[in-house]
Structure formats: C-alpha cells, structure tokens
Amino acid sequence: MKVMTTAKNSLHLLAPLSGQTLALDKVPDPVFAERLTGDGLAIQPVSDTVLAPCDGEITLLFDTKHAFAITTPAGVQVLVHVGLDTIIMNGQGITALHHTGDQVKAGEPILKLDLDLLQKKHINLISPVLIVNYDRVSQLEPLCEGREVAAGTDPVLAYAV
C-alpha cells in the first residue's frame, strides 16, 4: 500500500463495497476512464451493501438510486456510482437507506443492492468511487489498485486538502 508522506492533512476514503479494485482507466466506460466526472478508482463488488466512504452530508442521491455524493466537512465531494449501467434499472434492485441532507459516518450503510436481480439483468456492477471536485484537493492517490478490499475497513483513496 502506498502512503502519502508529503501531505500534512492526509485523509482517506474507505471502500464503500467489498471486492476487487481497479484503476479508473481500466473501467469500460469513457466517462469514468477519462476522469470526466472525477478522479479515484473503481471496485468490482461482491457485497450487497454500499457504505459511506467518509463522514459528511449526503448532498446528492439520485432518484434512480444508482449514485450518491457525500460532501465532507472540508467541502470535498465524494461520488459513489454503483455499477456502470444501473441507471437503466430506474431504481429497481437498489434500496436507499438514507436521504439527501442526512449526516453520515464512514462505514454507515447507504444503499442495499439486490445482486441477484442486478446480475440477472446483466448490469455491469463496476462501481467508481470518485472525488468530484478534485480541484479542492492538493493530492489524490489510489491506495490499492488490483487488490481485494473489505467495505468499511480498507482505505482505497488518500487525499489532502
């Protein structure tokens, strides 16, 4: 695991899902691979509960429940996009456990997935975890590309504000 040693205010995001991590440029969707919506990494999930990767306020939760954003107290906006094409499910197979405006702690459950249904519908579940406003961070470093991570336990991104 790489450790950021140059930043005084080094912070990290926890894995919101258990599974295998991969670099964003390996994600088969140009919006994510080319970092058009933010920078970070992605997870091929094996777990059915999506956790908050950090403390903060849920500032965005799509009606389709396919993605949510948490804004940290320092103003960093973290987006968790569950699957690449889950939006076509229009919320089916995903249960929101929180609402926009809720304060959450890292590791707290945000969404529950019906993995059987999503897999039956051939939904690609690769899930990007991004810092959207990465102009607000001075450093951003994926910590564990290509490794198995445990949701709510393993840090996956280090950043400094």
* Residues recognised as catalytic: 81
CB neighbours of 157 closer than 8 A, spacing ≥ 6?
12, 13, 40, 41, 53, 129, 131, 140, 141, 142, 143
- Identify how many contiguous H helices and E strands the chain contains and give both numbers: 2, 14
CA nearest neighbour of 81 among 125, 33, 22, 48: 125
Asked if 39 contacts 142 with a C-beta cutoff of 8 angstroms, the reply is: no
- Phi, then psi, of 105 in degrees rounded to 5: -110, 150
- Among 145, 140, 125, which Cα is nearest to 50's? 125
Q: Which of 134, 161, 160 is nearest to 5 (CA)?
A: 160
